Structure 1
Amino acid sequence: MFVALEPRRLYRQVAEQIRILIETGELKAGAKLPAERELSERFGVSRPTVREALIVLEVEGYLQIRMGSGVYINRKPQPMTDAVPVDDSDGPFEILEARLLIESGIAEEAARRATPASIARIDDILARMEAGLEKPQLALTCDRAFHTAIADIIGNSALNRFTGLIYDRRMTPYFEKLASYFEGPHTWRLALEEHKAIRDAIAAGNPSAAREAMRQHLTLAQKRFSESFGEEPSRED
C-alpha cells in the first residue's frame, strides 16, 4: 500500500500518498491509520516527517487526530482554504534546523557587539514575555522580538530581515495547528529560561557561550516539537 520515498519535501510526499489513498477509497472513512512508527517504517522516513504529513492532512480535513487514541480517516473531508503551505514550502523541522544553524552564529557575533542599550532592550522583551506566559499570542510576539533583537545587535539589515522572515513562516493555520500540540505556558516558561541563558552569555561578551546557548535553545525547541505529537511522545527517532 505505502511506497518508500525519495528525500525531497518528504512530509508533502507522505501527505500526498495518504491523500490519494483516501480519495480512491483504499483507506476507508472511519478507519484508523497504522501507528506513527509503523508509518515511518513503511514510508522509509523519520517520525517527525510523518507527524508533519498527518497534520497537513488534518488541517485539510482528511484526518482526525485523537490524542491518545490514534489517527482516523474523516468521513467527509472539508479542506480549509489557504490552510496548507504552498508547494515547495519549507516544513517546520527544516525551518528549526535552519534557525539553529544561522541564529547560533548570530548570537555568537552579537556577544561581540552588544551594548548596554541592546541588553536593556532584550531585558524589556524578556520581562514582557514573562508577564505574558499565559497569553499565547503575546508570548509568541515576545519570542519573535527576542530573536530579532539579537540580530539587531549586529546591525546587518539582511540578517535582521532573515530572522524575521524565517520566524514568520510559522504564522499560518498549518503551523498554528502543529504548534497547538506542544505550545503552552509550560513550554513558554522553558523557552523563557533558555532565552535568559542566551541573554546572559551575550551580556557577558562570551561568543562561544552565546552560540552554545542559542544552539541548545533551538535544539530543545525541536525536541519539544517532536515529542509532543504522536502516539509515542516519549520516544525519539
Structure 2
Amino acid sequence: MLNEPATRRHYRQVADQIMAFVADQGLAPGERLPSERDMAEQFSLSRPSLREALIALEVEGHVEIRMGSGIYLSHQAPGESRPIEGGAPFEILQARCIIESAVAEEAARHVSAKLIEGLDRNLTEMAAALHDTPSAIRLDGAFHIAIAQGIGNSVLTHLMAASYEQRLSPFFERFSVHFEGPRTWRLALAEHGAIRDAIAEGDPSAAREAMRHHLTESQRRFSENFTPDPN
C-alpha cells in the first residue's frame, strides 16, 4: 500500500545490528570492533552492505574508522547523535548505472558539436583537478549532467541533477574521504574519456556500455577494503 510506512533502509537495519552486537559484547569506547571480514561472516552480509552501515555509524559518531588500522567504538556520549537519512550510496550508484547507461545511449543518437565541446572542456578541467576532490566531484557531476542536457530533454536533465545532489550528502561525503583521491579520479577521468569518445562517434551501444562500465567501476572502488583483514 502506498500509504504504509516506508521500510527501514537496509543500511539502517545493519547499523542497528552492529550496535546491538556492541551492547551484547559490552564493548567500551575506544575498543576495536571485529574486522570487516569477520563481521560480514558473522552477520551474513556482503561487504558493500556492511560498509554502508559502518560509514553511516561513523557519520553519526558511533564509530571511528581508521584506514589501515581498524574500526573503533567512539567516545561519543549516548544521545549526542541523530540518525542520518537519505539514500544508500551503493543503491544510488546502482540506480544511476541503470538510468545513465540509457541516457548515454540516447546522447549518442543526438550528438552535436556543442555537446562534444562541452565534454572536452570538462575533461580538461577535471584533468587539472585530480588532487582537488571537491573540484573533481563538481566536475564529475557537470560531466554527467551535460550528457543529459545534450539530449534536449529537461526532465532528464533535472533527474540527473537531483540524482547527483545526493553525491553531496554527509553519507556520500564520508565515502569520498575514505576512498577518493588522485588515483580514483584518474581512473574516472579515463572512463569519462571513453564515454565521450563513444558519444562523439555516434555509437549508442558503445556509449551505453562505457557508462555502465564507469558506474560499475565506481561502485567497485567504493568497495575496496579500508581495514586490514586478519591472515
Distance apart, 1:151 and its partner CA: 0.4
Q: What amino acid maps onto 1:207 in structure 2?
A: P
Q: Which residue does the alignment assign to 1:4?
A: none
Where does 1:1-237 land on structure 2 (aligned, <5 Å)? 9-22=9-22, 26-77=26-77, 85-86=84-85, 89-232=86-229
Name the CA shift for 1:80/1:158 in 2 (closer, same or farther; >3 Å): farther
Aligned-residue CA RMSD in angstroms? 2.1
Inter-CA distance 20–145: structure 2 relative to 1 (3 Å threshold)? same
Residue deviations 1:146-182, cap 9 Å, x none? 0000001111111111111111112122211111111
Rounded to whole Å, the distance in 2 between the matches of 1:230 and 1:13 is 22
SS at match of 1:65: strand
2: CA distance, partners of 1:173 / 1:165:
16
10-19 vs 26-35, greater mean Cα deviation: 26-35
Kindly indicate whether structure 1 or structure 2 has the higher relative contact order, using CA contacts under 8 Å at least 6 residues apart.
2
Instruction: Label 1:21 to 1:162 Cα distance change in 2 as closer, same or farther (>3 A).
Output: same
Distance 1:155 1:73, change over 3 A: same
Partner secondary structure for residue 202 of structure 2: coil
SS in 2 for 1:169: helix
Distance 1:51 1:174 in 2: 11
Q: Distance in 2 between matches of 1:208 and 1:41?
A: 39
Distance 2:46 2:199 in 1: 35
Gaps of 5+ in 2: 1-6
If the length of structure 1 is used for normalisation, what is the TM-score? Answer: 0.86
Q: Is the 8 A contact 2:69 2:227 kept in 1?
A: no
String of CA shifts for 1:109-146, please: whole Å, max 9, x gaps.
Answer: 10000111111111111111112222211111110000
Residue 3 of structure 2 is matched in structure 1 by none
Shift of residue 69, structure 1, vs aligned partner: 2.0
Change (3 A) 1:62 1:195: same
Give SS of 2:123's match.
helix
TM norm structure 2: 0.88
**Structure 1: where are the runs of 5+ without partners?**
1-6, 233-237
Distance 1:134 1:220 in 2: 20
Shift of 1:205: 0.2
Q: 1:37 to 1:116 in 2, by over 3 A?
A: same
Given the superposition, is the C-alpha separation of residues 80 and 206 from structure 1 closer, same or farther in structure 2, using an over 3 Å criterion?
farther
Task: Report deviation, 1:33.
Answer: 1.3
Shift in Å, 1:229: 2.9
Percent identity, aligned pairs only, is 52
Q: 2:57·2:63 contact (CA, 8 Å) conserved in 1?
A: yes
* Equivalent residue, structure 2, for 1:3: none
- SS of the counterpart of 2:178? coil
